[in-house]
Amino acid sequence: MGKKPKQVVVLPCSGIGKTFGALARETAYELVERVRPGLATLTCLPLLVINDPEAVALVTENPVITIDGCPKDCAKKSVEAVGGRVAKAYEAIKFYKEHKDLKPEGIAEVNDTGRKLAQVAAAEVAREVDKLAAGEGE
Ligand code: SF4
């Protein structure tokens, strides 16, 4: 059992122009705004890319969950590049593979079906947030 963190970082990739990138972002917003507000927190991926000290501190001092939009794993690799350790890495397509009735569409933002899938995904990711917040899995 590790030390209990105050926050768990949920970091989606930028995912510009990709439906599963939009799904990754929507899932992270759902977690931070509605499912685990105050516990799950976000940062902006490009801040890590430019080595912003606050963003780097956030991902090196707290457990991190990444959600990527494709196998290039930009969010996961960006955390690792600044010395952070990713406690759990998701690819957003996994959520669709497990819920084929919820096909997301859209690239700037997902459609209503995509938002429903993001809610289902956020509920799953929230279980990992809770474990990490309890000091498990560190
Ligand atoms: S992981 Fe894929 S979708 Fe996400 S930012 Fe990288 S290239 Fe774009």
The per-residue b/e assignment along 60-70, b for 16 or more CB within 10 angstroms, e otherwise, is eebbbbbbbbe
17 lines ligand 1 (CB under 6 A): no
| Count of domains for the chain | 1
93 lines ligand 1 (CB under 6 A): no
Q: What is the reported pTM?
A: 0.95
Alpha carbon of 117 to ligand 1 centroid (Å): 19
Residue pLDDT, tens place only, 55-109: 999 999 999 999 999 999 999 999 999 999 999 999 999 999 999 999 999 999 9
Structure tokens at 33: 């705004």
In a domain, 82, yes or no: yes
In a domain, 99, yes or no: yes
Residue pLDDT, tens place only, 73-86: 999 999 999 999 99
More confident residue, 40 or 138: 40
Determine how many CB atoms are found less than 10 A away from the CB of residue 52. Answer: 15
For residue 19, the Cα-to-chain-centroid distance in whole angstroms is 15
Determine how many CB atoms are found less than 10 A away from the CB of residue 17. Answer: 10
Containing structural domain, residue 102:
44-110
In a domain, 123, yes or no: no
77 lines ligand 1 (CB under 6 A): no
